[in-house]
Amino acid sequence: MIPTLTTRPTERWEYLGELVHVVDGDTVDLRVMRDVVADFGFRMDMRLRLSAVMRFRLVGVDTPESTGPCRLFGKLAANVLAVMLSTADSIRVESLGEPDKYGGRWDARIFVETPSGLLDVAEVLVSNGYAQRYDGKGPRPTWNPEARYPLRSDDA
């Protein structure tokens, strides 16, 4: 019998990741990798590294769009995300096992390994004013394109 892979939507999956492309400030394409060990029989194990390019959305945050009135701030958020991911010692992805409400991206928490430790990418974006918390329900956060720091509510 040949084993098959199935999707288990309620489970969280963890992967090593490699940056492929930053779509915008809260969406990235990553090559995710998983090491698999299979019992080949004959007292032999087969070790494989499987990989796939997947699109992930940072869960719990929203950044300005890269088009529209706040596009400069959206592009800035995307550039900050690109620098964080491209300079990290390693990228870890915790997929939440569900595609987002649009169906094309997988909700995930993404962490970067740095010399100072493991950092949650979404938390770094929020704490530095490049993103706002957003749970995907209700109206999305708004930004003031005239503000000096459009992502900080105290600067309106």
Total-model pTM: 0.80
Query: 124: helix, coil or strand?
Result: helix
Number of domains within the chain: 1
- Beta-ladder partners of 133: 61
Whether residue 2 lies inside any domain: the answer is: no
Whether residue 82 lies inside any domain: the answer is: yes
Whether residue 87 lies inside any domain: the answer is: yes
Q: Please check whether residue 107 is in contact with residue 93, taking contact to mean a CB–CB distance below 8 angstroms.
A: no
Whether residue 152 lies inside any domain: the answer is: no
Query: What is d(CA 134, CA 156) in angstroms, rounded to the nearest whole number?
Result: 19
For residue 127, the domain's CATH number is: 2.40.50.90
Question: Cα 90 to chain center, whole Å?
Answer: 13
What was the pLDDT predicted at 28? Answer: 97
- Interior CA angle at 67 toward 54 and 29, to 5°? 10
Token digits of residue 32: 């995710």
Give residue 101's domain range. Answer: 13-138
Query: What is d(CA 81, CA 30) in angstroms, rounded to the nearest whole number?
Result: 13
Whether residue 134 lies inside any domain: the answer is: yes
Query: What is d(CA 34, CA 16) in angstroms, rounded to the nearest whole number?
Result: 7
Q: What is the mean pLDDT of each run of 10 residues along the chain (156 residues)?
A: 48 88 96 88 87 94 86 92 96 87 87 94 93 85 64 46
Residue type, 96: L
Query: What is d(CA 16, CA 14) in angstroms, rounded to the nearest whole number?
Result: 7
What was the pLDDT predicted at 135? Answer: 84
What was the pLDDT predicted at 24? Answer: 93
